[in-house]
Amino acid sequence: MLIVQPVAGALGAEISGVDLAKPLDPEAVSAIRRAWLDHLVIFFRDQELTPVQFLAFARQFGAPIEYPFVRGLPEAPEVIPVLKHEHETANFGGIWHSDTTYLEIPPMASMLIAREVPPAGGDTEFANMYRAHETLSPGLQRLLEPLRAVHSSTLADTARTREDRMKDSAREDARASYTAEHPVIRVHPETGRKALYVDVAHTERLADMTREESAPLLRYLFHHQVRPEFTCRFRWRPGSIAFWDNRCAQHNAVNDYAGHRRLMHRITLAGDPPRGV
């Protein structure tokens, strides 16, 4: 029996009563997907999955895709290691973002499973982009609805967080940069709800505007969309899994565990071209 327990007012729920190492029946898949759509990010504890089993679990919800910059595991190329060594200072994904929005078709979802965690710290924060949109004034919502934004893989803070992994595990076919243009307000293809779809890690500027012209409005949106009341925070243990919806949620890997190693495995699931209002 699945038990779904919300973890915060804005988003997030922990699901218990299921062994993800085994194939799920259609009713369980449907119930998990419903909880995921309702809560934007769902968490599981104490799941002992090999990379191949983790990939099999992911395939019950979508089509896994390879990350464009870093090589995956030999036995499961769609599974990439998200690693920070004890001596490293920057962490992979240590900035608020939705995954790889610089792709023409960004991923629908991402999954992380914890392999090694520090004794304290290394949590991941999540933020609700439905709530970020809904709490904007009606006037600003109307202003944003026709706008599009340019997303780039080359922004300095984002490049810095992946720099260490590019040194030791870069893909040979990785392009120097990726750029895509998406609506600022995105309509979720399954729920029909509107979400704010810009982020400080990847959004370079508004389309048909310069960076300087775009900066004041984007700076306000970047601050607004991660207000504490829109967020939840997850503390990892080995065997913990997070499964989030990149179309309506952002995340941030907190870098507060200097001197300790942290290893996760990540899968991203293929999405669809973002649709505006």
Apex CA 98: angle with CA 155 and CA 84, to 5°? 70
Which phi and psi angles does 260 have, rounded to 5°? Answer: -125, 155
The one-character DSSP state at 172 is T
Strands annotated E in the chain: 3-6, 13-16, 41-44, 64-65, 80-84, 109-116, 124-128, 148-152, 179-183, 185-187, 194-196, 203-206, 231-234, 241-245, 249-253, 262-269
Examine the residue annotation and report whether 39 is marked as an active-site residue of this protein. no
Examine the residue annotation and report whether 123 is marked as an active-site residue of this protein. no
Contact yes or no for 179/133 (Cβ under 8 A): no
Examine the residue annotation and report whether 131 is marked as an active-site residue of this protein. no
Rounded CA separation 81/113 (Å): 10
Query: Could you please report the per-residue DSSP string of 14-39?
Result: EEES--TTSPPPHHHHHHHHHHHHHH
Which of the following is catalytic: 71, 131, 151, 266? 266
Which of the following is catalytic: 133, 162, 182, 251? 251
Query: Could you please report the per-residue DSSP string of 187-240?
Result: E-TTT--EEE---TTTEEEETTS-HHHHHHHHHHHHHHTT-GGGEEEE---TT-
Rounded CA separation 72/154 (Å): 21
Which of the following is catalytic: 39, 71, 97, 131? 97
Examine the residue annotation and report whether 266 is marked as an active-site residue of this protein. yes
Which of the following is catalytic: 39, 99, 162, 165? 99
Query: Comparing C-alpha atoms, which of 111, 72, 101 is closest to residue 268?
Result: 111
Annotated catalytic residues are 97, 99, 251, 266
